[in-house]
């Protein structure tokens, strides 16, 4: 029996892929290990969205190269977006035995078994990634997802479910369409059946995933299903308490229907992650984002009007090619108007193969990018702090995830009740003391202290 160590980089989709791959390896007779030194197989699930993520993988492979000098039978497999992007180039690395793209993950256990037995390198990627996915591959992915798409063992009672794969949006900075392929929405019957199985296993919260999840569209005869339909059907499944969905693209299409389901159905969490990326119309055009700052804010205002109490999160890229100080100030202005609960802010880095990399010079100096990143984070931190303070003295419902990352900080004061962490339906992080067996359960917590990104309280 071979031991497998899995390391994951990137988004929730990658984490979900890892969860499915983990189940597939177990079913194939492999054992999972938390240590590279005990592993016969090392699998790295990669991300290509930012250069930093790829550099971390390269660094990891450098470490594995040294390990393989003493353990030449160690099999190293690289899967995911970076595998699809680099393909044969990545296979030339001394440490790498297998390169497997996102579309080929149903083959991963077979590829690893062959690599162990035959001692040969294996490449499995899609040569023409933008062509329509062949039916046999779609069927294989669907079967893989249905068979192994179970709950995330790292977070009790929670699970992620893909509602669609790929992306057709072609934002000029983004590599995803070139590594994940065309946009394909899964059949609603398959999604609901998967969620029903998860509920039977005790899952209470399901997060629906898609590169632009609100664009989900499936045609069955004369019926057109959108995300709102899927949310409504999922909310009727006994045992499912909370439903979330990420990530949304700022578009009017199906937006009203989704907001209405969120307003009408208590199980659909009042949380919307909807990246703006910039507050400058000039930069938005260069990014191929297909909306203006005013249109984006109109969507935010519509969400707050339709769904009182909704929490909104955003993403921004600073230092995009051609971004002037005036453009950046427009972004600061949008952040102040949008009043996000939190924001993910990134410095622009060119991604090979994208339109921005081919046609636009990376003109903003790194130091300027860093300065704008720090400034925008400070603006958002103040807003987050103000919004968090509104919870003081209030009681919130929390789904407990487990032990806090730093439970030792107050362990002396509470030896029998360590520090736990959970989230509200609006995705606020809540820290409190309680027994560890509460992981995966809903509790009520009275908020006694706040910080910009965390609420602290006492278990009721």
Pairwise CA distance, residues 438 & 402, whole Å: 7
15: which 2 tokens?
């984490």
User: Which residues share a beta bridge with 43?
Assistant: 6, 77
Determine the pLDDT at residue 50: 85
Based on DSSP, count helices (H) and strands (E) in the chain, helices before strands. Answer: 15, 21
Determine the pLDDT at residue 406: 73
SS3 for 160-209, per residue? EEECEECCCCCCCCCCHHHHHCCCEECCHHHHHHHHHHHHHCCCCEEEEE
Rg (C-alpha) for the chain, rounded Å, is 23
Lowest mean pLDDT of 32-36, 134-138, 211-215, 221-225, name the range. Answer: 134-138
CA quadruple 143, 223, 259, 263: dihedral sign: negative
Residue 27 clears pLDDT 60, i.e. is over it: yes
Residue 410 clears pLDDT 60, i.e. is over it: no
SS3 for 103-152, per residue? HHHHHHHHHHHHHHHHCCCEEECCCCCCCCCCHHHHHHHHHHHHHHCCCC
pLDDT of 101-113, one tens digit each? 999 999 999 999 9
Q: From 248, 258, 275, select the one nearest 338 (Cα to Cα).
A: 275
Residue 411 clears pLDDT 80, i.e. is over it: no
CB atoms inside a 10 Å sphere around CB 273: 20
Residue 263 clears pLDDT 80, i.e. is over it: yes
Residue 301 clears pLDDT 90, i.e. is over it: yes
Mean pLDDT of all residues in 385-407: 94
Q: From 74, 69, 88, select the one nearest 36 (Cα to Cα).
A: 74
Determine the pLDDT at residue 68: 93
- Answering whether pTM is above 0.75, one says yes
**Three-state DSSP state, 104:** helix
Residue 24 clears pLDDT 70, i.e. is over it: yes
Determine the pLDDT at residue 134: 79
- In the chain, the largest separation of any two C-alpha atoms, in whole Å, equals 64
- Are 460 and 432 in contact, with CB atoms under 8 Å apart? no
pLDDT band at 145, cuts 50/70/90? confident
Q: Which residues contact residue 151 at a Cβ distance below 8 angstroms, ignoring those fewer than 6 apart?
A: 19, 157, 158, 159, 198, 201, 202, 203
Chain centre to alpha carbon of residue 239: 24
pLDDT band at 414, cuts 50/70/90? low
Residue 167 clears pLDDT 70, i.e. is over it: yes
Mean pLDDT of all residues in 355-381: 97
DSSP 253-294: TTHHHHHHHHHH-TTB-SEEE---B-S-HHHHHHTT--S-HH
265: which 2 tokens?
């159905």
Residue 382 clears pLDDT 60, i.e. is over it: yes
Residue 402 clears pLDDT 80, i.e. is over it: yes
Determine the pLDDT at residue 304: 98
Determine the pLDDT at residue 399: 98
Pairwise CA distance, residues 61 & 57, whole Å: 6
Determine the pLDDT at residue 133: 77
pLDDT band at 415, cuts 50/70/90? low
Residue 408 clears pLDDT 80, i.e. is over it: no
- Are 198 and 242 in contact, with CB atoms under 8 Å apart? no
pLDDT of 59-109, one tens digit each? 999 999 999 999 999 999 999 999 999 999 999 999 999 999 999 999 999
Q: From 120, 118, 81, select the one nearest 98 (Cα to Cα).
A: 120
Instruction: Give φ, ψ of 391 to 5 degrees.
Output: -85, -10
Whole-angstrom CA distances from 79 to 108, 126, 154, 279, 354 are 8, 12, 21, 35, 21
- Are 40 and 10 in contact, with CB atoms under 8 Å apart? no
Going along the chain from its start, the domains and CATH numbers come out as 3-124 (3.40.50.12160), 150-265 (3.30.750.210), 270-389 (3.30.750.200), 395-459 (2.40.50)
Determine the pLDDT at residue 131: 82
> Percentage of the chain with pLDDT > 90?
85
Residue 123 clears pLDDT 90, i.e. is over it: yes
Instruction: Give φ, ψ of 332 to 5 degrees.
Output: -60, -40
**Burial class of residue 243 (count of CB atoms within 10 Å of its CB; 0-12, 13-18, 19+):** buried
Give the E-state strand segments of 265-365 in sequence order: 271-273, 311-318, 342-347
- Are 3 and 41 in contact, with CB atoms under 8 Å apart? yes
Pairwise CA distance, residues 282 & 284, whole Å: 5
User: Which residues share a beta bridge with 402?
Assistant: 421
User: Which residues share a beta bridge with 110?
Assistant: none
pLDDT band at 16, cuts 50/70/90? confident
Determine the pLDDT at residue 15: 85
- Are 10 and 80 in contact, with CB atoms under 8 Å apart? yes
Residue 118 clears pLDDT 70, i.e. is over it: yes
Determine the pLDDT at residue 140: 84
- Are 123 and 78 in contact, with CB atoms under 8 Å apart? no
Residue 413 clears pLDDT 90, i.e. is over it: no
- Are 9 and 18 in contact, with CB atoms under 8 Å apart? no
Whole-number average pLDDT of the chain: 94
Lowest mean pLDDT of 44-48, 92-96, 182-186, 405-409, name the range. Answer: 405-409
User: Which residues share a beta bridge with 175?
Assistant: none
- Are 302 and 255 in contact, with CB atoms under 8 Å apart? yes
- Are 243 and 262 in contact, with CB atoms under 8 Å apart? no
9: which 2 tokens?
């980089």
């Amino acid at each position: 029996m071979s031991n497998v160590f899995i390391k994951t980089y990137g988004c929730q989709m990658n984490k979900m892929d890892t969860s499915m791959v983990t189940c597939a390896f177990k079913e194939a007779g492999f054992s999972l290990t938390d240590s590279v030194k005990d592993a016969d197989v090392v699998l790295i699930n990669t991300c290509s969205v930012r250069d930093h993520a790829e550099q971390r993988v390269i660094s990891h492979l450098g470490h594995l190269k040294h390990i393989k000098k003493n353990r030449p039978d160690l099999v190293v497999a690289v899967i995911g977006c970076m595998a699809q992007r680099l393909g044969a180039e990545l296979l030339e690395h001394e440490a790498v035995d297998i390169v497997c793209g996102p579309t080929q993950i149903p083959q991963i256990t077979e590829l690893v078994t062959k690599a162990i037995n035959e001692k040969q390198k294996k490449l499995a990627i899609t040569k023409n990634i933008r062509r329509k996915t062949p039916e046999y591959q779609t069927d294989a992915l669907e079967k893989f997802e249905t068979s192994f798409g179970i709950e995330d063992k790292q977070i009790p009672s929670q699970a992620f479910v893909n509602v669609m794969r790929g992306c057709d949006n072609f934002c000029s900075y983004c590599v995803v369409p070139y590594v994940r392929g065309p946009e394909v929405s899964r059949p609603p019957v398959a999604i609901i059946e998967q969620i029903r199985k998860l509920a039977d296993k005790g899952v209470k919260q399901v997060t629906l995933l898609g590169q632009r999840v609100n664009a989900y569209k499936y045609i069955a005869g004369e019926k057109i299903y959108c995300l709102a339909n899927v949310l409504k059907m999922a909310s009727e499944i006994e045992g499912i308490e909370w439903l979330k969905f990420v990530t949304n693209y700022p578009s009017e299409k199906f937006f009203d229907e989704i907001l209405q389901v969120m307003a009408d159905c208590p199980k659909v969490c009042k949380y919307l992650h909807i990246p703006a990326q910039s507050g400058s119309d000039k930069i938005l055009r260069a990014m191929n984002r297909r909306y203006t700052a005013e249109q984006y804010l109109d969507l935010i205002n519509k969400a707050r009007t339709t769904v009182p109490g909704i929490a909104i999160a955003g993403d921004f890229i600073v230092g995009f090619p051609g971004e002037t100080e005036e453009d950046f100030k427009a972004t600061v202005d949008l952040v102040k108007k949008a009043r996000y609960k939190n924001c993910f802010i990134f410095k622009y880095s060119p991604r090979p193969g994208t339109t921005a990399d081919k046609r636009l010079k990376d003109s903003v100096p790194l130091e300027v990018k860093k300065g704008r990143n720090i400034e925008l984070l400070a603006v958002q931190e103040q807003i987050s702090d103000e919004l968090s303070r509104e919870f003081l003295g209030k009681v919130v419902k929390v789904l407990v995830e487990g032990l806090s990352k730093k439970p030792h900080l107050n362990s002396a004061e509470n030896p029998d009740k360590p520090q736990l962490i959970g989230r509200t339906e609006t995705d606020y992080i809540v820290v409190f003391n309680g027994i560890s067996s509460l992981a995966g359960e809903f509790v009520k917590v009275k908020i006694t202290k706040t910080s910009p990104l965390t609420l602290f309280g006492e278990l009721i």
